[in-house]
Every structure is written in C-alpha cells, then in structure tokens.
Copies of this chain bind each other. A is one copy, B any other.
Amino acid sequence: MCFLNLFTCREYLCKKKVTFCSGISMEAKSTFFSTATVGHSPVDRRSPFLPTTSLQFGVCCRKLQAGADRPSPAAAPERLPFSRVTPEDVAFFRKILPGRTITDPDLLESNNVDWLKSVRGSSEVLLRPQTTEDVSQILKYCNSRNLAVNPQGGNTGLVGGSVPVYDEIILSTALMNNILTFDSISGILTCQAGCVLENLSLYLEERDYIMPLDLGAKGSCHIGGNVATNAGGLRLLRYGSLRGTVLGLEAVLADGQVLNCLAKLRKDNTGYDLKQLFIGSEGTLGVITAVSILCPRKPKSVNVVFLGCETFEQLLKTFQLCKGMLGEILSAYEFLDSECMRLLNTHLKLPNPISDCPFYVVIETSGSDPTHDGEKLHNFLDEAMTSSLVTDGTVATEDSKIKALWSMRERVTEALTHDGFTYKYDISLPVERIYQLVTDMREHLGDRAKSVVGYGHVGDGNLHLNVTSPTKDPALLAAIEPFVYEWTASCHGSISAEHGLGLKKRNYIYYSKPSQAVALMGNIKAMLDPKGILNPYKTLPDDLK
C-alpha cells in the first residue's frame, strides 16, 4: 500500500459533477442511480491494484448467458501485453501535468466505473490535460512506452467504451473546456473537446443559437465524447447527424502527432475528409482535442403534442401526414407503446395525459413564427383526427407543460429500472419494421419475460427495445440473444443505432457489417495506432486483435 500512498494526489480537488437525464427530478435521479439503472447488481468496489486478470466488469448481462458453450462475445478479452505503469512513468506525468496527474484510488473511482455501473476498470492513473500539447506529450510518451490509454469525456456512454477495461491510463478531457471561437454570422462554434454539452447550449442560447444535438446526458457529456461516439439524440431528425454538422476537428494520434483539421468552413473539398475517421470511432483512432461545429438558429416557437394511435400502422401514417403538413418545423417524432405507459403509471405514478391507447406519439415543432407554427399544428391535428389516424391528443405550448409531456417519453428508461432486471437494445431498422421486432420478441419470449416494451425515435428508425425480468435470468437472455441480433440482421438493420459498440457490443459487429468492412476497419486501426494503445478492447471485435 505504500505504492498507493506514493501516488496519492493531494492537489486533486475537483469534484466530479454528474447530471443525467435532465428531465428527471433530483430525488428520482438519486434512486435511478443507486439502483444501478438497468437492474444490474452493484459492481464490486475493487482496488485498482488487484491483479488485472481477475473479473474486470462485474455485471454485464451478456456475460451471464447460460447454456452457451462458447464464451460470451461481450466478455472482456485477455489483457493485451501492454506495459504496466511504473513510478518513473508517474514521475514523468507529474512533470508535464503538475497537479493534474491523479493516482489516489478514491479519486479514480468514478473514472473507473461507467455511469450504468455495469463495467469497471482498474486504472491507477488519471491524467487531466488542459491543452492539445499536453495530450500530444502524453500520447507520445505512452506510445513509446507501450502504455494503453483510455480517452474519457463525460463518461456517459452506454456500451462500456468510456472506462478502462484493465489498467489503461485514463486521459480525461474534463479540463479542456474552453470555447475557442464563435461566429455569429455563420453560427460556427469551435471549442475544446472537454466542453460540457449543456454549457455550450447555454452559451449559444444567449447568442440566439442552439447546439445541433441534444441528449439526456447533456449536463455531463463532453462534446469531444459526443463526436467520438457520433452521438444521435433528440435533434437528429431536424438537424442531421454529427457527420454533417461537425465541420472540423483536431485530434492527437497514437504517436502524439497533432492532426489539425479544425476547419471552420461549410465546404472544403481538398483531399480526403480525415475528420470522419475520428467521428464515431470511440477514441480508438485518436484523441479528439477540439471541435468545430455548425449551429442552427434558436427557434422562436416550440410546441409539443402527445397523441394516441390504435395501431402502429396508423402511427406510421400519422408520421407521413406530419412530415407533409408540418414540413420544415417538425423537430421530433418519438413513440412509446402501452406497456411503457403502464410502467410510467405503475412505477413513477405519472398519469396518462390522454385516454388509453396501444401507441403514443410525442411530436415537437420548432419554428421561427409562433402564429404560423400554431396554424400548421392545428391543421395537422385537424386532419389527423378527422381521418381517424389518432384517437386522442393534447397540445403544449408553455414550457412546464412541454416538459411534462416530454417526460412521458424521457422517463421510460427510469420506469424500467423499477420493473426489474432490464435487457436493453438500441436497434436501427427500416422505419416500417420498427415495431414488428417488439411484437415478435413478445411472442418469442411468451411468459418468460415480465415486460417487453418498445419506444424510441420513429423519425430516425431507431427502436429502444427493453425486456425486463424479476431478477437476472440467464435463460431469458439466451432466449433474447442472438434472436434479437439475427432478427435485426435479417432486416438489414443496425445492432447499435446511436450508442456505438464500445466493449459490450464489439463482437456483435458482424450482424451489421460484412467481414470485408470489418477487416478494413482493422487495417485502419493498424495504420493509425500500430501498437493498439488507444482504447483497447473497444469497437473492433476480438478476432481482429
């Protein structure tokens, strides 16, 4: 333990601020978090100095799959032969990052565990660079020493990509939180990677702009992490993906080389678009240090409608009608099924704002003219009701009622945590097939599941499928997987719509990508990070390692 004391950092005073799911009250949040979110039992508190060959993440549900004669594809692979951190290494880091090299295990705790508390690493060193040059020096050193590195933003990922698996050095972007420039004519913002999304949103709203993405985790997540994971979220339907809105970025490669592609231009066709390599590669190809992003104007009017439909087919027809009649002001088209409503009623005591229906829709409009937006919405609702596409509905224009209606969609995740152990899937499908998977899964599982619920982003073809059980149930899991992945693959869907692959889903990649594509990804990894030090065990399947 003297080893431990030697590296206790006394200067580390920054308390990690955690805010998730902004729609949830503080009280609810507390419950939410303490019950380990997806029903997993709490992870063991482990010393990061325990042998790293021991179990490194305690409760990943897929690890518990019974009856499988092959190792669970989600299980952590063997530790790769990276060097281990020595006192000389720590001395080097302290020299270049005085006061920002953390080795106290208590202080490292929150960085070693993901926010679902489902995955745990045992890193002994947390580095908190402030500049790109800091990151460059760190990676140059780690690469030369063959030390593995886990880049970490707000640690809000859902697939175990944001925490170490073994003793990887954690490189946190938390102190890289400066806004660099904002051009109020073009709406182009540049900032360091560690800026918290909500802070950027607040900064922009004062200037009559908004960020092109919005997430439940906005109070904690970093823009660098958003870009590294190609985060989707609530505004994708309207403003498109980060692949279009991110105009430039700066990244540090595994060998410490700084790649400056931080263009602040809407158009630039000079050579290959290297920034795309880093968007969505989950920190495995480089560490994003700064981002340039195109921001839309702040809408002057926002309306939210909550509707009920008798069938999913009607819900899709309503979507079509909505796209035609609301046109350019449509900013969200989300859904939940009656099972979700039951859980909201039962566990959170949230009353149904309309009469009971098999399906519910949340529609949001964002526009520049309140009168016009109101008229468009009225005409759409009139048509939807007249043609019997929807059976009931309510409209909100004031802020508190808008939040209340949105919470019916946003708090489904929370309600699920009270229903039992939850198996969660984030699936992308052709929009007309979305709900068939829920129906088929319900029929497939029969009474083995407690609840089988579906909700998500209809507008993006993104289903959140959740199955609950009173307790962990390996037999149930074996019934769900690989059924869910095979079903998705048969529809040419994606087994990870917006969450990425991280540690947990890396070996399922073949359900959505052909082997040639995966092999090419492996070549790209080998080209950019020949020693494989950047976020190892993530994104790419083990058979490429």
The residues of A with any CB-CB pair to B shorter than 8 Å are: 183-187, 208, 229-230, 232, 236, 240-241, 243-245, 257-261, 263-274, 276-277, 279-281, 285, 297, 299-300, 316, 319-320, 323-329, 366-369, 372, 375-376, 428-432, 457, 460-462, 492-501, 505, 508-509, 512-514, 516-518, 520-521, 523-524, 527-528, 539-540
Contacts and interface: CB of A to CB of B under 8 A. Distances in A.
B516 A243 contact: no
Given A185-B316, A186-B430, A319-B185, A495 B324 contact: no
Closest 5 CB pairs of A and B: A244-B244, A327-B368, A276-B276, A268-B494, A267-B497
Contact of A368 (B376, B505, B520): B376
B513 A258 contact: no
B267 A272 contact: no
Nearest to A327: B368
Contacts of A187: 323
Which one of A187, A260, A495, A516 has the highest number of Cβ atoms from chain B below 10 Å of its Cβ?
A516
Given A258-B516, A516-B259, A517-B259, A268 B432 contact: no
A332 B268 CA distance: 19
A186 B431 contact: yes
A340 to B, nearest CB: 20
B270 A429 contact: no
A328 B366 CA distance: 9
13 contacts: A185-B316, A186-B431, A229-B269, A232-B267, A232-B269, A241-B267, A244-B245, A266-B460, A267-B497, A272-B521, A274-B520, A276-B277, A300-B327
A512 B521 CA distance: 27
B431 A185 contact: yes
Given A186-B430, A265-B493, A432-B185, A516 B257 contact: yes
Contacts of A369: 327, 372, 375-376
A127 to B, nearest CB: 23
Contacts of A328: 328-329, 366-368
B431 A368 contact: no
A476 to B, nearest CB: 24
A367 B232 CA distance: 26
A267 B327 contact: no
A279 to B, nearest CB: 7
A181 to B, nearest CB: 10
B493 A297 contact: no
